[in-house]
Structure 1
């Protein structure tokens, strides 16, 4: 896993893209406000669940799984909100469609990168299993093979992943396109944009933490106005996570992920013991370390499997939402832009 070279680099090359919607203009009814407040209350509850009781829970695979699950739920809530607002796609402003499609394709790219890294880490599990198998013998030759497998694991885990290395630029592009479209005449549109704002903040935060955990090279700080009811909870969560990331980056650890660090600690402890095993006392010590490595390896494998399922689930949520929007646009013969985020030439879809 690459070392942090630019851990403090900002993801805001274009300034803060999260600008609060203007309070002026169309008045939002009490009924619409009630819908919005319920949505934001759910968002805040998820942020609270992500706030760990101990900093040791941060950057664990279980925390990352919970964070990805929160993204799935929040993006599904947006779909539900659109239904509650009775705001069909053909009534959407063209700019909203552009923003949604632009963001969704970047999120799909991030999911692909994260899945690629999780697959790479899972592949390292085979090397650990091979090492554990050889450590079950008392043969010096088998110990040598175990050391070779452990060396291979460390080299494999420490190697770079080109797809993960591109996450920083994808997030930069994502942030550059997150300017909230101004809504002048639609109260329902204002509610939708404010709800989407909250989900965007959560999404960028979680994805930036994943990028930091996998690459050791990026993190970000989002400034959210206190006008949002969930802002204090988000700020507390972000400060806690970012501080722990900073501490781990500066400590020189092999990895910032808890489960990987646990395996690495057992591997480091094994090496000197394997070299000098000559009596029953040393054999007993070796057996204990091997057992601990086995437990750490199993926990890592299970954590990777669960997180992979959540990332795949989020990919499907984004993909189905995108497909549903495009299907609605086709059935309504709505004008959208070809080459999202670039060429502004329009195309009729029918």
Structure 2
């Protein structure tokens, strides 16, 4: 469901990009069609695997890690596709290069924001360790310290990260890049642009989900309308409907987070807090409940910390993939420019000698 204050954002702000990559002026060969279909079929399978089987999987850190793995694989597939197309950078339209460089730097910005939030959440693990350490002693004085650490943990996880709050504007700018450049008389260019379209849609969607999860708000969610001409349309639509619907339902119910592992720890903390009375001896039944909460908090805190660590590694891997692709393109452009200058210089020398 969608809340009134969270209007759906349009997907095609400048029209349907597939009108621009229709095969007018250049027909795709069977080989190019095979390359494109293979890419899109793989993307469809990848998106299908991300569709949660259970509501509890949205948004678990395990699912989020799988989503980042999927992005890494898709971006790697594009590199392979470019190689298969045998389309050197010298044949790229300048608009394609500009869009790629612009999009890549924004993706790096989002990665930095997500990494900072994962690190911030993981810092709360130290506070939970202080709670567990103080509870082990069983003395009233240590219970008071444990309560103080619980208070600090709650304030910490409920605070806002300015970097994450800025992701909304970055996502809006990325949506604008989904209006593909026009491709004229280049069948290989059409294949490249259509593949890049799929990459950008998956990337923008997953990052919008992450931004919503980490900002504790569904306002960053995007509802993307995909043309049925792409082979991954059904898989993407099913994934988007399932994930976005569950996130909106979570926040509309008043929960402060959509992260399942964080929500689980918070529930344990809420049960634990009343059992720790400042300097008051607890009855046996309360002490027994306290022991159960202690054990649950140990397990929950460890699961949350490990999940955040693994997710951080995947975000870092994606960051390196985007950065390496960007560096490779810039390197190729420099080489092409150097070769062009060398040819021009050689031509000028020959011309000068002929004139003499």
Normalised to the residue count of structure 2, the TM-score between the two structures is 0.90
Cα 1:157–1:17, aligned 2, differ >3 Å: closer, same or farther? farther
Name segments (4+ residues, structure 1) moved above 6 Å: 4-7
Per the TM alignment, residue 229 of structure 1 is displaced from its structure 2 partner at its CA by 1.1
CA distance in 1, matches of 2:268, 2:97: 51
Larger Rg: 2
1:212-233 CA deviation, whole Å, 9 max, x = no partner?
Answer: 0001232110000111111011
Q: Alpha-carbon deviation of 1:284?
A: 1.6
2:257 partner SS: coil
Q: Give the CA RMSD over aligned residues.
A: 1.9
2:91 aligns with: 91
- Paired with 1:95 and 1:266, the residues of 2 have a C-alpha distance of 53
Please say if 1:289 is aligned against 2:293: yes
Query: 1:297-316, aligned counterparts within 5 Å?
Result: 297-316=301-320
**Contact kept in structure 2, 1:11 and 1:171, CA below 8 Å:** no
Counterpart CA distance in 2 for 1:172 and 1:183 is 24
For each residue in 1:26-54, what CA deviation from the matched residue of structure 2 results, as whole angstroms up to 9, or x when unmatched? 10011110111111111011101101111
Is the counterpart of residue 35 in structure 1 residue 27 in structure 2? no
In the TM superposition, residue 10 of structure 1 has moved relative to its aligned partner by: 4.3
Q: Could you list the per-position Cα deviations for residues 278-306 of structure 1 after superposition, in whole angstroms to 9, with x for gaps in the alignment?
A: 23332221111110011110000000000
Q: Which residue of 2 aligns with 1:248?
A: 250
The alpha-carbon distance between structure 1 residues 196 and 303, as it changes in their structure 2 partners (threshold 3 A), is same
Structure 2: how far apart are the matches of 1:67 and 1:227? 24
- What secondary structure sits across from 1:288 in the alignment? helix
Query: How far is 1:62 from its partner?
Result: 0.7
Partner of 1:347: none
* Residues 55-94 of structure 1 mapped to structure 2, 5 A cutoff: 55-94=55-94
- In structure 1, runs of 5+ residues without a counterpart are 336-350
> How far apart in 2 are the matches of 1:49 and 1:280?
48
Structure 2: how far apart are the matches of 1:197 and 1:67? Answer: 18
In the TM superposition, residue 7 of structure 1 has moved relative to its aligned partner by: 6.2
In 2, are the aligned partners of 1:130 and 1:149 still within 8 Å (CA)?
Answer: yes
Match of 2:171 in 1: 171
8 A Cα contact 2:23 2:187, kept in partner: no
**Is the Cα–Cα contact under 8 Å of residues 150 and 273 in structure 2 kept in the other structure?**
no
TM-score by length of 1: 0.91
Please state which structure has a larger fraction of its residues in helix.
Answer: 2
Q: Distance in 1 between matches of 2:320 and 2:14?
A: 29
Q: Which residue of the partner structure matches residue 145 of structure 1?
A: 145
In the alignment, what sits opposite 1:340?
none
Does residue 17 of structure 2 align to residue 19 of structure 1? yes
Q: 1:7 to 1:213 in 2, by over 3 A?
A: farther
> In 1, are the aligned partners of 2:178 and 2:201 still within 8 Å (CA)?
no
Q: Hey, what does 2:110 align to over in structure 1?
A: 110
1:333 equivalent in alignment to 2:337: yes
The answer as to whether partners of 2:164 and 2:211 remain within 8 angstroms in 1 is: yes
CA 1:186 to 1:277, structure 2 compared with 1: closer, same or farther past 3 Å?
farther
